[in-house]
């Protein structure tokens, strides 16, 4: 098992390195850091801009290989992922934003998984009942609602709700209200800001868990080993819980393992709509502001999280599925 | 005639044979949701084609006497901050989104079918290379590359089609590959080999058609995926850009004024949801109609 995980890890690290370097060349090719300085208002010559960009290794007058060497040296030797064209350190920016994204997405993800899987299990054993039909319709519609539409729809509802109540109960923007004193009121304020984005993430995220878990359990519900279990004298509920459910949870566990690390890569559209400064908005910001190093760091981080998720998924499969043996 | 002879006459009469297409059509038509999906989708297509008849404005004209106006008779969906007619914008945006979604899903499905089935049948180095390329493109954060490329080319919808196609075929190719690996040992493929049919011809004439049901269903669901990614890109400002509009960029316009001018958000959002849900209903109906083991559309 350990050797298997090690071998997979080595393979993934190679993938990450390749993907990160590919991202660097793509970003260097498609993003032009000079245009940021051109937009600053004061007219500068290209020469002045190049001089300003040179200390960060972003000077377009240097060859792309030189810039790559400058960047990779710092990454390998100091784990320093470089600077934005305006000189902000990528490391400090990412460190701060990962926490923000984690705070925002973690609760939403956990709620989606729990709600979705519970609904899937409940409705699969009552296939074509009233509850099943209604929740299935709702989930399929929600599954097909674009995130932007769903999140903005919630904002619209919150604005209407706040007007009805007369005070701002549901905050539609930001992670906290500036200038609040006292630890308790600050904590409460932060939680209050979390409500809407969490609801958005849960409503738009649970549907796929519900639909897949329902389908998985329906597949195993009629399997021979469940009938055998019934034949040994178990009640239907016992047979489902001990045999069908356990088998159908294996693929779900794999997906959960894949999902958990992606919590930290953030939710691009939800963060944009609700004005959170997390990894998702950092990603759009790097591209809009021609921040080559920032964009590459996001790509590397995303690839690393995918790899960790995949390794977790492998471990989960081996741990849960008695039929799988690895060497 | 007695009752018993009637019965025997019925039993011995040859069963009515339906053509394959008619059988599929019958199974599809039994599914009420699927029919609703077709009706909604046709309605959207008609709206995209003829919706401009309901307004005398085009999407790029500005009515300077009606800035940010709620829906009126002159502007049935209202106007935005620049005085553009929202109905005209929605019709144009729906055209863009539909054209992009249909083209991209057809193109990605063709690439996925040829690469997936080709790799599975021809095997060897080609297979290893295709699989490595697929896995690599799956690991590379495709949304980042999409955003990078389409941001640079500044919102031309034709380039957006190319970019979405290049980064959209891998997952389907992987699925098609794993299904096709079981087809290459089939008798009819072997027979074709013994008859001296050329390898690529076997792939195109014998393997790909066998995947027909899978391809059609994935094609339909691919439309939804494309609509969702196009919307996300345009919403973030990396897809279709002004002066052109798509439903995603209309959403982004509406987002900033959602509490003061909600009609800017409500109409494009409604069209988007109807579009994705109708396509999904059609896809589900097709899956049930084409899958011989599914009885959700009734037996036979």
Could you read off the pLDDT of A212-255 as tens digits, one per residue?
Answer: 899 889 888 888 888 999 999 999 888 888 888 888 888 888 88
Q: Does B251 touch chain A (CB under 8 A)?
A: yes
pLDDT-based confidence at residue B10 (cuts at 50, 70, 90): low
In this structure, what token pair is assigned to residue A104? 């925002």
Smallest Cα distance from A184 to chain B, Å: 30
**The pLDDT of residue B278:** 92
Average pLDDT, chain A: 84
**The pLDDT of residue A325:** 67
Cβ(B77)–Cβ(B264) under 8 Å?
A: no
**The pLDDT of residue B46:** 92
Q: Using CA atoms in the order A223, A227, A232, A237, what is the torsion angle rounded to 10 degrees?
A: 90
Mean pLDDT value across residues A203-217: 90
Chain B environment of A299 (Cβ under 8 Å)? 140-141, 144
Asked if the Cβ–Cβ distance from B141 to A19 is below 8 Å, we say yes
Checking if the pLDDT of B15 tops 80, the result is no
Q: Does B40 touch chain A (CB under 8 A)?
A: no
In this structure, what token pair is assigned to residue B20? 């394959």
Cβ(A217)–Cβ(A245) under 8 Å?
A: yes
Instruction: Compute the count of residue pairs across chains A and B with CB atoms less than 8 Å apart.
Output: 112
Q: Does A147 touch chain B (CB under 8 A)?
A: yes
Q: Does A303 touch chain B (CB under 8 A)?
A: yes
Chain B environment of A306 (Cβ under 8 Å)? 139
Angle at B246 between CA B244 and CA B250, to 5 degrees: 100
Tens-digit pLDDT profile for residues B221-271: 889 889 988 888 888 888 887 778 888 888 888 888 877 777 888 888 999
The model carries a pTM of: 0.82
Which residue intervals of chain A are DSSP H helices?
Answer: 2-30, 34-38, 46-53, 64-78, 90-124, 130-143, 147-165, 183-221, 224-231, 236-239, 245-262, 268-274, 279-288, 292-320
Q: Does A295 touch chain B (CB under 8 A)?
A: yes
Q: What's B16's DSSP letter? A: P
Mean pLDDT value across residues A173-200: 81
Smallest Cα distance from B149 to chain A, Å: 7
**The pLDDT of residue B298:** 47
Chain B neighbours among A 60-119 (CB < 8 Å)? none
DSSP A160-226: HHHHHHSS--S--SSSS-TT--SHHHHHHHHHHHHHHHHHHHHHHHHHHHHHHHHHHHHHHHTSHHH
Calpha distance B118→B170 (Å, rounded)? 14
């Amino acid at each position: 098992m350990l050797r298997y995980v090690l071998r997979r890890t080595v393979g993934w690290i190679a993938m990450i390195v390749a993907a990160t370097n590919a991202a660097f060349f793509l970003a260097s090719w498609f993003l032009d850091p000079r245009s940021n300085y051109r937009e600053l208002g004061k007219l500068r010559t290209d020469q002045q801009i190049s001089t300003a960009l040179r200390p960060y290794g972003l000077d377009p007058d240097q060859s792309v290989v030189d810039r790559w060497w400058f960047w990779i040296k710092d990454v390998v030797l100091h784990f320093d992922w470089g600077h934005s064209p305006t000189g902000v350190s990528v490391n400090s920016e990412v460190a701060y934003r990962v926490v923000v994204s984690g705070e925002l997405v973690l609760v939403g993800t956990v709620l989606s998984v729990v709600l979705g899987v519970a609904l899937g299990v409940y409705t699969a054993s009552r296939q074509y009942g009233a509850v099943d039909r209604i929740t299935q319709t709702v989930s399929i519609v929600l599954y097909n609602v674009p995130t932007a539409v769903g999140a903005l729809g919630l904002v619209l509802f919150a604005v209407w709700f706040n007007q009805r109540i007369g005070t701002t109960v549901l905050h539609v923007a930001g992670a906290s209200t500036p200038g609040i004193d006292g630890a308790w009121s600050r904590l409460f304020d932060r939680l209050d800001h979390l409500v809407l984005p969490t609801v958005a993430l849960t409503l738009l995220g649970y549907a796929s868990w519900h639909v897949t878990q329902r389908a998985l359990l329906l597949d195993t519900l009629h399997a021979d080993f469940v009938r055998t279990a019934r034949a040994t004298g178990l009640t239907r509920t016992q047979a489902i819980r001990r045999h069908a459910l356990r088998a159908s949870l294996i693929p779900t566990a794999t997906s959960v393992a894949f999902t958990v690390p992606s919590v930290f890569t953030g939710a691009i559209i939800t963060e944009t709509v609700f004005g959170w400064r997390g990894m998702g908005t950092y990603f759009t910001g790097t591209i809009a502001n021609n921040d080559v190093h920032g964009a590459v760091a996001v790509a590397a981080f995303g690839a690393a999280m995918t790899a960790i998720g995949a390794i977790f998924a492998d471990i989960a499969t081996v741990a849960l599925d008695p039929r799988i043996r690895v060497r | 005639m007695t009752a018993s002879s009637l019965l025997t006459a019925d039993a011995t009469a040859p069963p009515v044979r339906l053509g394959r297409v008619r059988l599929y059509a019958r199974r599809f038509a039994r599914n009420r949701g699927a029919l609703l999906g077709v009706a909604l989708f046709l309605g959207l297509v008609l709206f995209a084609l003829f919706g401009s008849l309901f307004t005398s404005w085009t999407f790029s004209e500005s009515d300077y006497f009606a800035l940010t106006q709620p829906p009126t008779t002159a502007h049935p969906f209202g106007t935005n901050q620049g005085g553009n007619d929202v109905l005209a914008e929605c019709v144009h945006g729906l055209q863009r989104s539909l054209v992009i979604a249909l083209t991209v899903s057809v193109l990605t499905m063709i690439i996925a079918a040829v690469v997936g089935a080709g790799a599975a049948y021809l095997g060897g180095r080609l297979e290893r290379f295709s699989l490595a390329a697929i896995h690599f493109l799956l690991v590379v954060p495709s949304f980042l590359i999409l955003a990078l490329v389409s941001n640079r080319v500044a919102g031309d919808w034709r380039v957006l089609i190319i970019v979405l196609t290049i980064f959209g075929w891998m997952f389907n190719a992987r699925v098609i590959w794993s299904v096709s690996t079981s087809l290459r040992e089939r008798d009819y493929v072997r027979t074709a080999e013994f008859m001296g049919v050329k390898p690529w011809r076997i792939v195109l004439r014998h393997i790909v058609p066998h995947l027909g049901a899978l391809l059609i269903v994935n094609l339909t669901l691919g439309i939804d995926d494309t609509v969702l990614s196009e919307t996300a890109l345009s919403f973030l400002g990396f897809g279709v850009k002004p002066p052109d509009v798509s439903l995603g960029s209309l959403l982004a316009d509406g987002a900033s004024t959602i509490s003061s001018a909600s009609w800017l958000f409500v109409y494009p959002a409604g069209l988007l949801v109807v579009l994705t849900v109708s396509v999904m209903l059609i896809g589900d109906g097709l899956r049930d109609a084409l899958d011989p083991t599914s009885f959700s559309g009734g037996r036979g």
